[in-house]
């Protein structure tokens, strides 16, 4: 199975690093596509990003090479420069590295590119988290399916003709439904029952703008 | 739904594994990326052009200076946007009490942090200032510096940290960082070069054009460090308090 030239050796021994990145990438993609929770999706995004970053950094590796910082003998301000300065009053100009020496340093470009990517990743992650916070504040959930249900019922209500209705926190919305109204309608089909009495609802809302909020258990259902 | 996405993910994974077949081996010096003339050019000539030993810093702050400047702007805008998103919109819930954390700062933790924070900050400044000759630079130093403020916020409370580095000051410092960066770029324009062509700064400085690039890079990195420090802490402060800057962790 692991003899030279077989596909397994080719993939799992010589190119194991790429396979690991592909697996990481799949984990991230799976979390982004299949998970319901928005925060978990963000975690998936970060894993995905990490896979890409690792991939780029591994491209920059050269066998037997050192990090892309000049060794002191090539360093314009390093050992050799100082020695030369001591011998001659004229400071020595740094030399262009020969091709054989270039092979001794890792490729700096992937590192630079990924430094950029990491910083942008932090910025996007912070922004995404703040949007999640806003969603949670407005709808009381970060689960995607619950969010979709709520958005749907919101749409139904807004199409019922009450012009004054606009997007507002769920807690406020609930609080403004009149008591009598709430008792008669069923829990599940609140979208339908609201459509028939949208105008009444709006009136009730203007009459009682600051009714105390419902308890948490009521919201949780 | 789950099955469909699983098949999709598996399909993409197999596609990528199939592509891995054609990739160069780990650390192959003959790989296209390593043997490309672009990377060889930077490795060979960074020392001559800028006298900076750390090629990554040289490429980041000099050759790709434009990109890094606008990236700093991206970080700044992200900090502003997080605050705007959290503060804007309809009136928030009245349950402000959710965010009140009642606790006494722990004696052992606070005293340890008292000892550690100066070390972290000195190290951050070292990483920033030494970015030319060792791994480091503005982003890394800035993140370490911002982390020291987050550590203060975690071990005491956010109020203590904000009394040292208020949110207004955060954005002032962040803007100042970008101004330093853009100012160095504009100064080199003023002396006859292109935007961010630091070599022309040698006309007012008593140094060679190469060393002008060297020192301008340090200035640029300081600007980046300012912005990243401030925005890291601003991100933490706004996310942990839902934008209201009090009663958070």
Q: Containing H/E element for A24?
A: helix A16-34
Determine the 3-state secondary structure of A69 from DSSP: strand
The tokens describing A125, both together, are 């992650």
Q: Using alpha carbons, select from A185, A187, A215, A211 the residue that is nearest to residue A198.
A: A185
Residue pLDDT, tens place only, B5-38: 899 999 999 999 888 888 888 888 888 888 888 8
- Chain B residues whose beta carbon lies within 8 Å of the beta carbon of residue A119: 71, 74-75, 139, 228
Q: B139–A167: do the CB atoms touch at under 8 Å?
A: no
Helices (DSSP H) in A78-211: which residue ranges? 79-87, 99-102, 108-139, 144-158, 170-175, 179-184, 190-196, 198-207
- Chain B residues whose beta carbon lies within 8 Å of the beta carbon of residue A67: 135
Q: B81–A127: do the CB atoms touch at under 8 Å?
A: yes
Helices (DSSP H) in chain B: which residue ranges? 2-20, 32-35, 37-50, 55-58, 65-87, 107-129, 138-155, 158-164, 167-190, 209-241
Kindly state the greatest CA–CA separation across chain B.
68
Q: Using alpha carbons, select from B236, B28, B224, B59 the residue that is nearest to residue A130.
A: B236
> Which percentage of chain B shows pLDDT scores above 90?
41
- Give the nearest chain A residue to B18 (CA atoms): A11
Task: Determine the Cα–Cα distance for residues B207 and B212; give it in Å rounded to an integer.
Answer: 6
pLDDT number for residue B249: 63
Other Cβ atoms closer than 10 A to A157: 19
The answer to whether B118 faces chain A, any CB pair under 8 Å, is: no
Q: What is the mean pLDDT of chain A?
A: 73
Confidence of residue A79 (pLDDT cuts 50, 70, 90): low
Out of A19, A102, A213, name the one closest to residue B17 (CB).
A19
pLDDT at B173 > cutoff 90: yes
Out of B5, B71, B133, name the one closest to residue A116 (CB).
B71
ipTM: 0.86
**How many A×B Cβ pairs under 8 Å?**
201
Q: A119–B8: do the CB atoms touch at under 8 Å?
A: no
pLDDT number for residue A93: 65
pLDDT number for residue A213: 46
- Chain B residues whose beta carbon lies within 8 Å of the beta carbon of residue A101: 44
Q: Containing H/E element for A209?
A: none
- Give the nearest chain B residue to A71 (CA atoms): B53
Out of A119, A133, A213, name the one closest to residue B242 (CB).
A133
Q: Which residues contact A83 (CB under 8 A, 6 or more apart)?
A: none
**What mean pLDDT is predicted for residues A87-111?**
74
Residue pLDDT, tens place only, A187-208: 444 444 444 444 444 444 444 4
* A67 torsion bin: left (phi>0), alpha (psi -120 to 50), beta (else): beta
The answer to whether B91 faces chain A, any CB pair under 8 Å, is: yes
pTM of the entire predicted model: 0.79
pLDDT number for residue A170: 55
Beta-bridged to residue A143, according to DSSP, are A37
Confidence of residue B97 (pLDDT cuts 50, 70, 90): low
Query: Could you tell me the CA-to-CA distances from A158 to A135, A174, A204 in Å, in that order?
Result: 19, 15, 16
- Chain A residues whose beta carbon lies within 8 Å of the beta carbon of residue B138: none
Task: Determine the Cα–Cα distance for residues B58 and B50; give it in Å rounded to an integer.
Answer: 7
Q: B21–A11: do the CB atoms touch at under 8 Å?
A: yes
Residue pLDDT, tens place only, A110-121: 999 998 899 889
Residue pLDDT, tens place only, A52-62: 999 999 988 88
Out of A94, A122, A127, name the one closest to residue B51 (CB).
A94
Confidence of residue A91 (pLDDT cuts 50, 70, 90): low
Task: Determine the Cα–Cα distance for residues B117 and B119; give it in Å rounded to an integer.
Answer: 5
- Chain A residues whose beta carbon lies within 8 Å of the beta carbon of residue B8: 33
pLDDT at A66 > cutoff 60: yes
pLDDT number for residue A193: 42
pLDDT number for residue A207: 45
**What mean pLDDT is predicted for residues A63-91?**
67
**Which pairs count as long-range contacts for A63-66, CB under 8 Å and 24+ apart, including other chains?**
A63/B26, A63/B27, A63/B28, A63/B29, A64/A104, A64/B27, A64/B29, A65/A103, A65/A104, A65/A105, A65/A106, A65/B29, A66/A104, A66/A105, A66/A106
- Of these ranges, A84-98, A130-144, A197-211, the one predicted with the greatest mean pLDDT is A130-144
**What mean pLDDT is predicted for residues A28-45?**
92
Q: What is the mean pLDDT of chain B?
A: 87
- Chain A residues whose beta carbon lies within 8 Å of the beta carbon of residue B9: 26, 29-30, 33-34
- Chain B residues whose beta carbon lies within 8 Å of the beta carbon of residue A68: 43, 54-56
Out of B12, B39, B91, name the one closest to residue A29 (CB).
B12
> Which percentage of chain A shows pLDDT scores above 70?
63
Mean pLDDT check: name the lowest of B70-79, B100-109, B199-208.
Answer: B100-109
Residue pLDDT, tens place only, B108-156: 999 999 999 999 999 999 999 988 888 888 899 999 999 999 999 988 8
- Give the nearest chain B residue to A118 (CA atoms): B139
């Amino acid at each position: 199975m692991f003899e030279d030239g077989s596909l397994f050796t080719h993939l799992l021994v010589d190119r194991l690093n790429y396979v690991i990145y592909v697996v990481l990438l799949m984990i991230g993609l799976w979390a982004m596509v299949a998970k319901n929770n928005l925060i978990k999706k963000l975690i998936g995004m970060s894993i995905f990003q990490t896979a890409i970053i690792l991939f780029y950094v591994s491209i920059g590796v050269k066998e037997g090479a050192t990090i892309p910082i000049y060794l002191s003998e090539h360093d314009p301000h390093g050992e050799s420069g100082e020695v030369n300065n001591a011998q001659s009053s004229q400071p020595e100009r740094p030399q262009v590295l020969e091709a054989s020496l270039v092979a001794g340093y890792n490729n700096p470009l992937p590192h630079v590119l990924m430094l950029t990517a990491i910083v942008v990743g932090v910025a996007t992650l912070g922004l995404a988290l703040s949007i999640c916070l806003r969603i949670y504040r407005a709808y009381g959930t970060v689960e995607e399916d619950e969010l979709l249900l709520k958005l749907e019922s919101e749409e139904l209500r807004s199409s019922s003709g009450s012009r004054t209705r606009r997007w507002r926190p769920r807690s406020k919305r609930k609080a403004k439904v009149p008591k009598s109204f709430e008792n008669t309608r069923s829990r599940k089909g609140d979208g339908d029952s609201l459509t028939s009495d949208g105008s009444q609802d709006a009136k009730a809302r203007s009459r009682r703008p600051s009714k105390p909020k419902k308890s948490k258990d009521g919201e949780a259902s | 739904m789950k099955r469909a996405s699983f098949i999709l993910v598996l399909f993409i994974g197999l596609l990528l594994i199939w592509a891995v077949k054609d990739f160069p081996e780990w650390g192959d010096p003959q790989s296209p990326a390593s043997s490309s003339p672009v990377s060889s050019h930077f490795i060979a000539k960074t020392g001559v052009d800028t006298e900076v030993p750390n090629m990554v810093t040289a490429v980041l702050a000099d050759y790709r200076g434009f990109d890094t400047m606008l990236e700093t702007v991206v970080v700044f805008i992200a900090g502003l946007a997080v605050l705007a998103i959290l503060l804007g919109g309809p009136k928030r819930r009245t349950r402000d009490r959710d965010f009140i954390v009642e606790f006494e700062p722990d004696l052992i933790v606070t005293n340890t942090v008292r000892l550690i924070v100066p070390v972290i900050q000195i190290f951050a400044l070292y990483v920033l200032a030494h970015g030319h000759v060792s791994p480091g630079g503005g982003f890394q130093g800035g993140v370490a510096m911002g982390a020291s403020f987050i550590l203060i916020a975690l071990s005491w409370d956010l109020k203590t940290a904000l009394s040292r580095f208020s949110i207004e000051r955060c954005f002032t410092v962040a803007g100042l960082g970008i101004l330093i960066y853009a100012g160095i770029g504009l100064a080199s324009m003023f002396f006859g070069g292109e935007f961010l062509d630091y070599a022309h700064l040698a006309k007012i400085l008593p140094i060679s054009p190469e060393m002008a690039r060297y020192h301008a890079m340090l200035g640029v990195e300081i600007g980046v460090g300012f912005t990243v420090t401030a925005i890291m802490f601003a991100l933490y402060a706004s996310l942990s308090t839902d934008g209201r800057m009090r009663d958070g962790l």
